[in-house]
Structure 1
Amino acid sequence: MSDVADELGGMNERILICDDDVEFAENICEFLLGKGYQVDHVPNVPTAREKIEAETYDLFLLDLIMPGTTGKVLCREIAARLDAGIIMISSVDDDAERISLLELGADDYIIKPFNDLELLARIRAVMRRRQSGQQGQKRLNRFGPWELVENERHLKHDDGRMITLTSSEARVMRFFVENPDVLCTREDLLAVARTRQHGGAGDRSVDALIKRLRSKIEADPANPDHIRTVWGQGYIFRPS
C-alpha cells in the first residue's frame, strides 16, 4: 500500500468480530493477527456489548444473522455511539438488505463465502476512508465525465453513452471510485475482483482487467488520466 502502516499491516488497529460460527471467526482472527491487527472474537451481541464497554475498537466485523439479537441491531447501536468502522458479514446476497445496512451506518457488506484477501482489502479501504475523514457509507459515483450507475454494471458518460462492465470490472471500478488517490496493489484488486480464490502480487491477470477498463473509460488508454500505473507496486485511481 501507499504508506508504511499499510505495508506493515494493521499497526495494532483493534478489530472485534461478532459471529456465532466459532470456527469461521477463529480462522479470520488467525489471518488478521498475522497481518498485524489486534483481534477479539465474541459469539453473540450481549457479549459484544460487554466487550465494547470495556475496550476500544477501530473496526467491527458483524455477522448479520445470529441467534437472539441480530447483527443489524448491534450495527445500529455502534453507528449511533462510536466512531469506528463497521463491516457486515452475511450469506444473504440481497441489494435491499445491503442498502438498509449502509443506511444504518455500516461501511461495507461482504458476502460469505469470501477469501481472506478480499476481507483484508475491504478492511484497509474502510480504515483509509475513515482516517481521511470520509464517511464510509457515502456512495460515490462520479469521476471525470463518467457516472458509475448504482446497482448496475454500467458507466454513463456525460454525452449519453452507456458502457457495460463485467462483474469483475464493476467490482474493481467501485473499489477505485470509493478509494481515490490510494495506491492499490494487484493483490488488493485481485481480491476485490474475485477472479480466483488465491492470487498474489505476482499474478498479472489483474493487468488485463485494468487494460479493459482503460479501453472503456480513458480518452487515451495508452496515456490514462484515471487509472495510473505505479511501476512495481500497483495502481492509483485519479477521479479528475
Structure 2
Amino acid sequence: MLAHTPKQNIFSGMPMTLLPEEVTLLVEKNFAKVVQLKDPANPPTQDLKDKYAEYLEKVNKEQVESYEEERKKRVLSMIDIIVEGKKRKLMKQLKQRQTTGDTIEIDREAILNSEMQRGSVTHTPYVQTFTEDPWYKENDFTPADWNFPSTKEDKLKYEVFKNLWEKDYYVTPGQKFGGDYLIYPGDPVKFHAFAIVQCRDHTDPIPMVDLIAHSRIGSTTRKTFVIASQREDGEIAYHSVRLGDLS
C-alpha cells in the first residue's frame, strides 16, 4: 500500500521484500535490474548530510502547513455549531446573574483563532515511504551479480514460480503450510489461498507417509495440496493430493 493512501489495496509502494524468484522474474522480463553502490563503504559526504537535513526541514514544514490547513477546514465546517454553543453558554450565565437587555456579541474570527490554537500540538512528522532513492544518482550505482537460481532445486522452484505467474496466479511463500508456495486467485489482501504447492523433481519417489501428511494438511487448511515437477520436455506438471472417501 502507499503511505499517503493506506485505505486501498490497488497500488503498492516501496520498500518491500522480494523473493529471489520474484527478483529473477523481474530481471528476466526487463521490468527491473539489480544494482549496487560503487563504494558502499564510503560514508555520506557533508553535502549529502546538508541536503538530508534541509529535506527533513522542508518536509516537516509542508506537513505542518498541511495539518493546519486541514484543521482550519474542520473548524470552519463546525464554526456555526461552536458559535451557537457559546451563545447558549453566555445566555445561561446572564440568566444566572439575572441580567437582561444585554446584547450577546460573538466574534467568529476570535473563535476561529482560539480553536486553531487549541488544535496546535507538537507535530511529529509522518514516516515517508520512498518509491525511489532521493539521495543517490544513477551513476552512483553499478550492475550487481545476481545468480539465482544456481542449484537444481532452485531452478525447479523458479520454473514453477514463473509458470504460476504466467497463469495469472498470485504467489506467496508457503513454508508455514509445508509447501514452497501458496496460490491465490487474486490479490492476497482480498482472497484466501486455495492451493499449497510443493516442488519436487519428477524422478524423486514420494513416500506414502508424505502423501498422507500432505493430504491431511490440505484437508485441515481447506486447500488443495499440489505437487509440482518439471518434465523432461520442460513442461511443468501439477498433481493434486487429497484424502479419499473411506466410507
TM-score, normalization by structure 1: 0.25
Higher strand share: 1
TM-score, normalization by structure 2: 0.24
